[in-house]
């Protein structure tokens, strides 16, 4: 086996010529999460899936595999209440469903220049979700600095986190917490519609296994016995969540 080690840019891309990426059988990235968490990703794999994620802890004896990572990225709270700006999403990563906490904070921008501070979720995506909320709910984000974080240091890119990200931003801006024990999954279109995402039943099962009593997601007309509460757009989803 021949292993080539390379540097990465601030955007997480391999620096230098791309020729080596086309020659090799696999491109692996080893990321450091919060604390002792380590994440191994395959962005290219000629002989297998490129969607699998390996989760490890750095202990005294070296790397140790996390055998049951489903709830490792959740923050356990004794109060039973969700803080303002926090939403939980069941994220489909490779062959696993992980429950991940998304945190948002909004503050008034200084000197009229707004910025988005987000390392674990692409900043452009955060700006898009904020624009959708401003258009379809009337809640203004264009005069706010936006901070977004993912508990545990997990980097998220799949479409299914859109609804949870939107709800965390709405909660932070309106200063109202989300209902406890509620998880959120769904993709948002620019028209404010909730679009289906893959493996919703597995997401619902993973959420229930960790004590979440409700999963809110997109409507699927073909589903006869849904395991999740279904809504068609972001406005109706927010009305259900924040009218309680």
Residue 70 pLDDT exceeds 70: no
pTM: 0.78
Q: pLDDT tens-digit profile of 99-128?
A: 899 999 999 998 778 899 998 899 999 999
Instruction: Give the residue-averaged pLDDT of 53-81.
Output: 76
Between CA 31 and CA 33 the distance in angstroms is 6
| DSSP label at residue 61 | T
Banded pLDDT at 9 (limits 50, 70, 90): confident
Nearest to 82 by CA among 158, 224, 2, 179: 179
Beta strands in 187-232 (DSSP E): 187-188, 194-195, 214-218, 229-231
Nearest to 69 by CA among 186, 154, 150: 154
Instruction: Give the residue-averaged pLDDT of 145-152.
Output: 92
Instruction: Give the residue-averaged pLDDT of 132-155.
Output: 92
CA distances from 82 to 85, 151, 178, 205 (A): 8, 14, 6, 21
Between CA 2 and CA 8 the distance in angstroms is 19
The three-state secondary structure class of 201 is helix
Q: What is the separation of C-alpha 165 from the centre of its chain, rounded to a whole number of angstroms?
A: 7
The predicted structure's pLDDT at residue 38 = 84
Highest mean predicted confidence (pLDDT) among 74-88, 158-172, 195-209, 214-228: 158-172
Between CA 71 and CA 44 the distance in angstroms is 27
Q: pLDDT tens-digit profile of 11-37?
A: 777 887 788 888 889 888 888 776 777
Q: pLDDT tens-digit profile of 180-225?
A: 889 999 999 999 999 999 889 889 988 988 889 999 999 887 666 5
Between CA 186 and CA 233 the distance in angstroms is 10
CA distances from 43 to 13, 40, 55, 91 (A): 10, 10, 15, 18
Percent of the chain exceeding pLDDT 90 equals: 45
The predicted structure's pLDDT at residue 177 = 94
Residue 176 pLDDT exceeds 90: yes
CA distances from 122 to 37, 88, 156, 179 (A): 20, 18, 8, 26
Angle between helix axes 123-137 and 162-174 (nearest 10 degrees) is 60
């Amino acid at each position: 086996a021949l292993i080539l080690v390379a540097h990465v840019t601030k955007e997480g891309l391999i620096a230098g010529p791309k020729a080596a990426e086309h020659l090799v059988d696999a491109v692996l990235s080893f990321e450091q999460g919060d604390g002792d968490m380590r994440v191994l990703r395959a962005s290219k794999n000629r002989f297998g899936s490129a969607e699998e994620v390996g989760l490890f802890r750095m202990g005294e004896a070296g790397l140790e595999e996390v055998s049951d990572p489903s709830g490792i990225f959740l923050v356990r709270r004794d109060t039973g209440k969700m803080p303002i700006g926090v939403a939980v999403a069941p994220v489909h990563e490779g062959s696993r469903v992980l429950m991940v906490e998304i945190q948002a904070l909004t503050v008034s921008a200084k000197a009229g220049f707004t910025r988005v501070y987000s390392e674990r979720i692409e900043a452009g995506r955060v700006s898009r979700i904020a624009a959708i909320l401003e258009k379809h709910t009337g809640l203004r984000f264009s005069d706010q600095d936006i901070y977004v974080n993912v508990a545990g240091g997990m980097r998220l890119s799949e479409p299914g986190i859109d609804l949870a990200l939107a709800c965390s931003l709405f909660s932070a801006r309106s200063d109202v917490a989300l209902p406890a024990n509620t998880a959120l999954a769904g993709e948002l279109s620019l028209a404010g519609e909730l679009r289906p995402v893959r493996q919703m039943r597995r997401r619902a099962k993973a959420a229930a296994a960790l004590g979440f009593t409700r999963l809110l997601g997109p409507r699927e007309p073909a589903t006869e016995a849904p395991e999740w509460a279904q809504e068609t757009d972001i406005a109706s989803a927010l009305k259900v969540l924040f009218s309680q």
